[in-house]
Amino acid sequence: MQRIEHHASHGGWQDVWRHESTVLGCTMNVGVYLPPQSANRPCPVLYWLSGLTCTEQNFITKANAQRYAAEHGVIVIAPDTSPRGDQVPDAEGYDLGKGAGFYLDATQAPWSAHYRMHDYVVNELPALVAAHFPATDARAISGHSMGGHGALVAALRNPGRYRSVSAFSPIVAPSQVPWGRKAFAAYLGDDESQWNAWDACELVATARERLPLRIDQGGDDEFFDTQLQSGRLLAACDAVDHPIDLRIRPGYDHSYYFISSFIGEHFIFHMRQLNQAR
């Protein structure tokens, strides 16, 4: 782990670290915010997954999350959205390849050698966090858009790993919308039965855990009807009596103006679970 950025923020430190990923076969950057409390004791961890075209920089520079992380005493881990490097396959357009890893483990060439973001986020990255930072084993996960999809899938596929999950404007049914169908066909192949394992609406039907689930969706989001379709997840949760708190925010769009407006509420939501003794 090599620290490449170090900034004082709200009494703590917003850093960016670079490391070699065995899972992804490339060099990765990850944002790490250490709240002031971490100087004296281990702290719980919130993982944040960003959306299409983003890197680790978008959340740490635009969301104003450091203010709330310092207030609540939580470490925030914000990885990049896909593998990077000259050896990593890419594609034209913003919705496939670098910056568009979709937080799954690809099975199709040429993607399968590097595009294993689910394994990276769920397994490799937490091991690095535990080894290098004063973190407890209490974890929560959140994300935006493609990252909201990744957060939901990570929580639903790994019962016991996280204490809570939330999302801003998530792609809740990627197997049913253009962004997801394009990515899934490339990364997972044409057999659509294999896609269900990476679709939150499909996973919730057989979930073995009832995690607290919070979603905020901008009412004026340009992708609301075509790509996000949060109503599908609400229906899937209602069908199996899975708890969900879905809030439609009138006037808000898909941007970080939206995220920064409500990120404080998400920290409160997660801390209710992270602070409980287990």
Which residues lie below 8 Å from residue 241, measured CB to CB, with a gap of 6+? none
Query: Of these residues, 149, 254, 266, 270, which one is catalytic?
Result: 254
> From the CB of residue 232, how many other CB atoms can be counted at a distance below 10 Å?
16
> Residue 34 pairs with which residues in a beta bridge?
13
- With CA atoms as reference, report the closest residue to 117 among 139, 102, 130, 95: 102
Q: Where are the alpha helices (DSSP H) in the chain?
A: 57-62, 65-72, 117-119, 125-132, 146-157, 178-188, 200-203, 230-240, 256-274
Say how far apart CA 90 and CA 115 lie, in whole Å.
10
- With CA atoms as reference, report the closest residue to 149 among 68, 243, 229: 229
Residue 145 annotated to the active site = yes
Residue 6 annotated to the active site = no
Residue 10 annotated to the active site = no
Query: Of these residues, 38, 114, 221, 266, which one is catalytic?
Result: 221
- How is residue 77 written in tokens? 């881990």
Strands of 12-21's sheet in order across: 2-9, 12-21, 26-34, 75-79, 43-49, 135-143, 165-168, 213-218, 245-249
Query: Of these residues, 38, 145, 166, 230, which one is catalytic?
Result: 145
In the chain, what is the straight-line distance between the N-terminal and C-terminal CA atoms, in Å? 30
Question: Phi/psi class of residue 223: alpha, beta or left (left: φ > 0; alpha: ψ in -120 to 50)?
Answer: alpha
Q: Look up residue 250 and give its amino acid.
A: P
Q: Which residues are catalytic?
A: 145, 221, 254
